[in-house]
Amino acid sequence: MISTSIKRILIASTLLLGSVWAFGQHQIGNGRISGDFGFNGMYYIPDSIIGAEPVDSKVRGNAFLNILYTNGGFSAGARYEFYQFPLIDFEKIGYKGQGIKYFFADYKNSFIQVTAGNYYEQFGNGLTLRAYEDRQLGIDNSLLGARIKLTPYKGIYIKGVWGMERYNFDSYLGRKDFVSGADLEISLGELVPVIQEKGFIARVGANFVSKHQPVDYPYYFDLYPGTDSATLAYIPEDKIPVNVGTWAVRGTFGYEGFRLDGEYARKINDPNITNHFIYKPGEALFLSATYAMKGFGIAASFIRADNMEFRSDRYEYSNSLLMVNCIPAINRQYSYQLIGDYSYASQPNSQIGAQLQVNYQIPKKSALGGKYGTDITFNYSRFHDIDKQLVPEAVENGTLTGTMGYTSQFFKFGPNLLYQDIGLEISHRFNNKKWKWILAYNYITYNLEILQGHAGVMRGHLVASDLSYKITPKHALRLEAQHLYTKDDIGSSIYAMLEYSFSPSWFVSIGDDWNYGNPDPVHKTHYYNISCAYIWNTTRIALNFGKTKEGILCVGGVCRAVPASYGVGLSVTTSF
Amino acid sequence: MKKILTVILCMTLSFSIFAQEAKDKHLAKLPAIDIQTLDGAVFNTKDIQNDGKPVIISLWATWCKPCIAELLAIADEYEDWVEETGVKLYAISIDDAKTSSRVAPFVKGKGWEYTVLLDVNSDFKRAMNVNDVPYMCILNGDGEIVWQHTSYAPGSEEEVHEIIKSLVK
Provide the ipTM.
0.83
Cα gap B82→B103, rounded to integer Å: 23
HSE of A533, CA atoms in CB hemisphere, 13 A:
22
- Residue B18 within a domain: no
Contact A494, A511 (CB under 8 A): no
User: Rounded to whole angstroms, what are the CA distances from B120 to A60, A310, A338, A344, B36?
Assistant: 32, 21, 28, 21, 8
Cα gap A236→A238, rounded to integer Å: 6
Cα gap B153→B66, rounded to integer Å: 8
Residues whose CB is less than 8 angstroms from the CB of residue A313 and which lie 6 or more positions away in sequence, other chains included: A177, A213, A322
What pLDDT is recorded for position B95?
Answer: 87
With contacts defined as CB-CB under 8 Å, which chain B residues touch A329? 98
With contacts defined as CB-CB under 8 Å, which chain A residues touch B26? 27
CATH number of the domain at B127, please. 3.40.30.10
Residue A240 sits at φ, ψ, to 5 deg, of -90, 120
Read off the amino acid at residue B86. Answer: G
- Residue B16 within a domain: no
| Residue of B23, B70, B102, B162 best to disrupt the A interface, most CBs of A under 10 A | B102
- Residue B35 within a domain: yes
DSSP A294: T
Residue A23 sits at φ, ψ, to 5 deg, of -65, -40
Residues whose CB is less than 8 angstroms from the CB of residue A428 and which lie 6 or more positions away in sequence, other chains included: A370, A374, A375, A436, A437, A438
Cα gap A263→A252, rounded to integer Å: 9
What pLDDT is recorded for position A234?
Answer: 65
Contact A282, A264 (CB under 8 A): no
pLDDT digits (tens, 9 = 90+) for B125-156: 999 999 888 999 999 999 999 999 988 988 88
With contacts defined as CB-CB under 8 Å, which chain B residues touch A73? 32
Instruction: Tell me the pLDDT band of B22, cut-offs 50, 70 and 90.
Output: very low
Picking from A404, A451, A446, the residue whose alpha carbon sits closest to that of residue A307 is: A404
Cβ contact (<8 Å) for B153 and A372? no
Min CA distance, B26 vs chain A (Å)?
Answer: 7
Q: Is the pLDDT of residue B1 over 60?
A: no
What contacts 24+ positions apart, CB below 8 Å, involve B139-144? Answer: B139/B30, B139/B48, B139/B54, B139/B55, B139/B56, B139/B57, B140/B27, B140/B54, B140/B167, B141/B50, B141/B52, B141/B53, B141/B54, B141/B167, B141/B168, B142/B52, B143/B29, B143/B30, B143/B48, B143/B49, B143/B55, B144/B27, B144/B28, B144/B29
| Residue of B2, B62, B112, B131 best to disrupt the A interface, most CBs of A under 10 A | B131
Interface check B79 vs A, CB under 8 A? no
Interface check B14 vs A, CB under 8 A? no
Of A66, A98, A133, the CB nearest to B129: A66
| Number of domains into which chain B is organized | 1
Higher pLDDT, B77 or A181: A181
Cα gap B133→A554, rounded to integer Å: 17
A436, containing H or E segment: strand A435-447
With contacts defined as CB-CB under 8 Å, which chain A residues touch B156? 503-504
Cα gap A199→A81, rounded to integer Å: 47
Cα gap A220→A17, rounded to integer Å: 48
Cβ contact (<8 Å) for A504 and B155? yes
Read off the amino acid at residue A460. Answer: G
With contacts defined as CB-CB under 8 Å, which chain A residues touch B158? 473-474, 503
Read off the amino acid at residue A388. Answer: K
Q: Which residues pair with A245 in a beta bridge?
A: A210
Cβ contact (<8 Å) for A23 and B16? yes
Cα gap B163→B47, rounded to integer Å: 22
Residue A259 sits at φ, ψ, to 5 deg, of -155, 135
Cα gap A205→A463, rounded to integer Å: 43
- Residue B160 within a domain: yes
What pLDDT is recorded for position A25?
Answer: 59
A548, containing H or E segment: strand A539-548
User: Rounded to whole angstroms, what are the CA distances from A22 to A16, A25, A353?
Assistant: 10, 9, 52
Cα gap A219→A315, rounded to integer Å: 12
Handedness of CA A220, A222, A228, A231 (dihedral sign): negative
Contact A141, A322 (CB under 8 A): yes
Cβ contact (<8 Å) for A359 and B18? no
Read off the amino acid at residue A396. Answer: E
Where in the sequence is the domain holding B56, given as residue range(s)? 28-168
With contacts defined as CB-CB under 8 Å, which chain A residues touch B104? 259, 290, 292, 297
Picking from A541, A550, A498, the residue whose alpha carbon sits closest to that of residue A523 is: A550
pLDDT digits (tens, 9 = 90+) for B89-120: 999 999 887 777 788 888 888 888 999 999 99
What pLDDT is recorded for position A519?
Answer: 94
Min CA distance, B47 vs chain A (Å)?
Answer: 13
pLDDT tens digits for chain A (576 residues)? Answer: 456 777 777 777 777 777 666 655 566 777 889 999 999 999 999 998 898 888 888 999 999 999 999 998 999 999 999 999 999 999 988 999 999 999 999 999 989 999 999 999 999 999 999 999 998 889 999 999 999 999 999 999 999 999 999 999 998 888 899 999 999 999 998 899 898 889 899 999 999 999 999 987 645 555 554 444 445 566 777 788 999 999 999 999 999 889 999 999 999 999 988 898 899 999 999 999 999 888 899 999 999 999 999 999 988 888 889 999 999 889 988 888 898 889 999 999 999 999 999 999 888 888 777 877 899 999 999 999 999 999 999 888 878 888 899 999 999 999 999 999 999 999 998 877 789 999 999 999 999 999 988 889 999 999 999 999 999 988 999 999 999 999 999 999 999 999 999 988 899 999 999 999 999 999 999 999 999 999 998 899 999 999 998 888 777 667 788 889 999 999 999 998
- Per the rule left: phi > 0, alpha: psi between -120 and 50, beta: everything else, A427 is beta
For B153, the 3-state DSSP assignment is: coil
- Residue B3 within a domain: no
With contacts defined as CB-CB under 8 Å, which chain A residues touch B128? 575
For B95, the 3-state DSSP assignment is: coil
Of A297, A328, A575, the CB nearest to B109: A297
Name the closest residue on chain A to residue B135, using Cα atoms.
A538
Read off the amino acid at residue B53. Answer: K
- Residue B15 within a domain: no
- Residue B144 within a domain: yes
What pLDDT is recorded for position A23?
Answer: 59
- Residue B87 within a domain: yes
